[in-house]
A and B are shown apart, each in its own frame.
Chain A
Amino acid sequence: MDAMLADPLAVLVLAHADDKLLLGHVQSDWTGLGPLLEEDIAASAMSQDDLSHALILYEFLGKRFDLDPDVIAFERAPEDYACCDLVTFPDEFDWATSLVKRWLVAVFTGLGLERLGTLDDADLSARCDRIMPEQRLQVAHLGNWIRRLGSAGGESTARMQAAVDRVAEVTGTLFEVPGHRLEEDETYCCGRDDLFTEWNGIVQATLAEAGLTGTFTLPERSTVGGRRGTHAGHFTEQLTEMTEVRRVSPGASW
């Protein structure tokens, strides 16, 4: 475990896997509560996808560092999780906030996995390639809803704009440099500035089509947040709930 957490590439993979693990769990709170049946199903399906994508990435790390993927997912210390504060930002059961948050993360993850897939590692590339079509559908589907609800006018547009405003401040946490055990010059940033520029371009184009506005900024490299183990939002409650069965009954299966 220590070797994995001291490996720059592994930590970068962990950041994406942990985003998906946490987001998949957080979002599943909505199952049964979606504002319309099709979207209730779609949101639950995307959460399932997020959890399977997390598993595909944990399996990669498991093979490389001889670890059980479930142990990587559920048995790390809280500060060794590299998810960002946006995924654990409470949506207070506001559908607009949930939607905007998931969309911003999905665009980021899509671009991040594309980049991971180009690194010189055949196993990692194959895994990213398998995830990407499902990721692209998430981005397309969520983007359609941003446009549809943003451009609907009246209360719909107002609530979508309020949601963008609400998450704007924590959105930059997506781009924080991960890994609190790494020295700054050891971190594997994978073109952070370029990633932010491309992400912002896609996000701004969709927001413009939706008639919404949002300003996002790239945090300083030295910023310490969730990606470096100092978590916010409902990370602690979420992790406690996610790991409860393993703590109560280690090795339980069903």
Chain B
Amino acid sequence: MLSGIPDPELPVSIVDLGLVKTVHVEQSVVRVDLLPTWTGCPALEVIAKDVESQVAALPGVDTCTVTWCYEPAWSPDRISAEGQSILKAHGITSPGCCSEAPTTIPLGTSFIACPYCGSNETRLDSPYGPTRCRSIHFCESCRNQFEHMKAVDLEP
């Protein structure tokens, strides 16, 4: 059921994105522990409300509460294969979908294969992209800009 809840800022579900840490069920009370991609993500409240209202509406469930957890820190490794391929189709790469990419991105350069033409001649435009979890890259080969699900711990 959580697989049906999308991230408000990405075309994938919170399960495919790897946000779900654990689900505790005690009788009719459900507690869902989630991991934020970045701690300052403004979508956290929307996601928590979506989960709480939709889980509480399930038969046999009285209440559902969401807790945001800081351990372990989310990383793009948590994105499922399905999630990676959906993101790539939308022009957003993630470390797992490009074999050449290191898990961390040295600032100023990048080794991420362009999601449009596959070229490795790409560079990092800005580590701070349109949402907290994405960086912006440019492909020198096909001259397209694309986004990447960045690892939280970028190398300086």
Interface residues of A (CB under 8 A from B): 38-39, 41-42, 45-46, 48-53, 56, 126-127, 129-131, 133-134, 136-137, 139-141, 143-144
Kindly state the separation between the CA atoms of A42 and B108 in the bound complex, as whole angstroms. Answer: 15
Name B73's contact: one of A50, A133, A136, A141 (CB within 8 Å): A133
Known: A134-B39, A141-B127. A45 touches B156 (CB 8 A): no
Q: Which residue of A lies closest to B154 (CB)?
A: A137
Known: A42-B127, A130-B70. A48 touches B156 (CB 8 A): no
Name B125's contact: one of A38, A52, A133, A136 (CB within 8 Å): A38
Which of B12-20, B80-88, B129-137 binds A? B129-137
Q: Do B39 and A45 have beta carbons less than 8 Å apart?
A: no
Chain B 132-147: CB-based contact to A (< 8 A → 1; otherwise 0): 1000100000000000
Pick 11 A–B contacts, CB within 8 A, sort by A: A38-B136, A42-B126, A45-B40, A45-B128, A49-B39, A51-B40, A137-B152, A141-B107, A141-B128, A143-B156, A144-B107
Chain B 56-80: CB-based contact to A (< 8 A → 1; otherwise 0): 0000000000000011010000000
Chain A CB within 10 Å — which of B39, B70, B130 has the most?
Answer: B39
Q: Which residues of B contact A129 (CB under 8 A)?
A: 70-71, 73
Kindly state the separation between the CA atoms of A50 and B125 in the bound complex, as whole angstroms. Answer: 22
Known: A38-B125, A42-B126, A143-B156. A130 touches B73 (CB 8 A): yes
Q: Do A41 and B128 have beta carbons less than 8 Å apart?
A: yes
Known: A38-B128, A42-B126, A137-B154. A130 touches B107 (CB 8 A): no
Q: Do A137 and B127 have beta carbons less than 8 Å apart?
A: yes
Judged by a CB distance under 8 angstroms, whether B11 is at the interface is no
Name B39's contact: one of A39, A56, A136 (CB within 8 Å): A56
Known: A41-B126, A42-B126, A51-B40. A127 touches B70 (CB 8 A): yes
Q: How large is the interface on B (under 10, 10 to 19, 20 to 34, 35 or more residues)?
A: 20 to 34
Q: Which residues of A contact B71 (CB under 8 A)?
A: 126, 129-130
Beyond A49-B40, A130-B70, A143-B156, 14 additional pairs, beta carbon < 8 A: A38-B128, A39-B126, A42-B127, A42-B128, A45-B40, A45-B132, A50-B40, A53-B39, A56-B39, A129-B70, A134-B38, A139-B156, A141-B128, A144-B107
Chain B 94-128: CB-based contact to A (< 8 A → 1; otherwise 0): 00000000000001100000000000000001111
- Closest CB-CB distance, B102 to chain A, in whole Å? 15
Q: Which residues of B contact A50 (CB under 8 A)?
A: 40
Kindly state the separation between the CA atoms of A39 and B156 in the bound complex, as whole angstroms. Answer: 17
- Closest CB-CB distance, B126 to chain A, in whole Å? 4
- Closest CB-CB distance, B134 to chain A, in whole Å? 10
Kindly state the separation between the CA atoms of A53 and B155 in the bound complex, as whole angstroms. Answer: 20
Kindly state the separation between the CA atoms of A39 and B39 in the bound complex, as whole angstroms. Answer: 20
Q: Do B132 and A48 have beta carbons less than 8 Å apart?
A: yes
- Closest CB-CB distance, B96 to chain A, in whole Å? 19
Q: Which residues of A contact B155 (CB under 8 A)?
A: 140
- Closest CB-CB distance, B49 to chain A, in whole Å? 12
Chain A CB within 10 Å — which of B108, B128, B129, B155 has the most?
Answer: B128
Q: Which residues of B contact A136 (CB under 8 A)?
A: 153-154, 156
Q: Do B40 and A144 have beta carbons less than 8 Å apart?
A: no
